[in-house]
Structure 1
């Protein structure tokens, strides 16, 4: 029964997206919501469909008639967003001014770094993975994964952080002013893994990245790069 109600709502919402709003404005649309509410405890899927219906009605109605539907859509989407930002579709987030998964993930990461609970870190990793295609997003995810490695000691997190940092460096390109920050994170993670596994390829890559940083950065960043490079060279000499 519930699946049939959801399928009918989906069809009506899809028709609205194609330009036919009659299916979200007729009495049957609201009757579906009543029947859905009576079918059992609401879940995220049901709430999402009802929120989408009210948003469609708001878009289809004259401004003076759509205020109640907008309020209902915002209330429902706010509940969903508080659980997981991914439950609110991008177009609804943009219209209602809600944070994207990336924005929510970064906010949770910052809260964790200020002493927040580990649950914030777990949610940050989950959210940041959803939109990790731009250099800044890749870097933020790598930072979150390193924090989780520090917390739980799972090498898989460090391995993924290195992969994400490498990709951030590659996507940023040689002239991107953010590249040095991405390279610093990569070099530090490579050194951490070398200290864990003694894999010579990690320290060699950390040294190569460190030498490029020393050659291309200035000020305090260059001093930090030199210190990290010296550390990498020391670790290599200790191994041989």
Structure 2
């Protein structure tokens, strides 16, 4: 898996200076790092992926069509990192990113159910960690909305 990661790292470094092109290349690199981590790669892959996805979200205006997917990927990657003994702050940020992705997904978008499901999963994980009833109530409510 080093080959694709190295290739996308070079592509991201050489991408044009326009926000959309460079951001898209870095987001793909982040996904390659997450995949490599899932296949036994180092924990640093998740840390690097989180940084790249945070940058992707920050680089695009709220109305940009790619931003929702970057938010969803950031939420997922933060949850993965939390599951590797990271702090509660990763779950808090994952909830924020997941909430922003769900809110930015139009009601008639086929991806809305997935966004709500993912947010519910992160809220349920945070409930298991903290015991906050509000997170569980919200997670259950989101599952009913799908």
Q: 1:124, CA displacement in angstroms?
A: 0.7
Instruction: Give distance in 2, aligned partners of 1:161 and 1:173.
Output: 20
Instruction: Give distance in 1, aligned partners of 2:69 and 2:103.
Output: 12
SS at match of 2:108: coil
Give the conservation status (yes or no) of the 8 Å contact 1:146–1:158: yes
Q: How does 1:1-240 map to 2 (within 5 A)?
A: 81-82=9-10, 85=12, 88=14, 90-91=16-17, 100-132=25-57, 134-213=67-146
Q: TM-score, normalised by structure 2?
A: 0.78
**Matched residue, 1:17:** none
Give the conservation status (yes or no) of the 8 Å contact 1:93–1:100: no
Label 1:94 to 1:129 Cα distance change in 2 as closer, same or farther (>3 A): closer
Ranked by relative contact order (alpha carbons within 8 Å, sequence separation 6 or more), the top structure is 2
Larger Rg: 1
Q: 1:164, CA displacement in angstroms?
A: 0.4
RMSD: 2.7
Q: TM-score, normalised by structure 1?
A: 0.49
Instruction: Give distance in 2, aligned partners of 1:181 and 1:113.
Output: 21
Instruction: Give distance in 1, aligned partners of 2:124 and 2:20.
Output: 41
Instruction: Give distance in 1, aligned partners of 2:47 and 2:130.
Output: 25
Give the conservation status (yes or no) of the 8 Å contact 1:112–1:120: yes
SS at match of 2:138: helix
Q: How many residues align?
A: 130
Instruction: Give distance in 2, aligned partners of 1:147 and 1:209.
Output: 21
Instruction: Give distance in 1, aligned partners of 2:135 and 2:20.
Output: 42
Give the conservation status (yes or no) of the 8 Å contact 2:127–2:136: yes
> Would you identify which runs of 4 or more consecutive aligned residues in structure 1 move more than 2 Å?
87-95
Give the conservation status (yes or no) of the 8 Å contact 1:101–1:128: yes
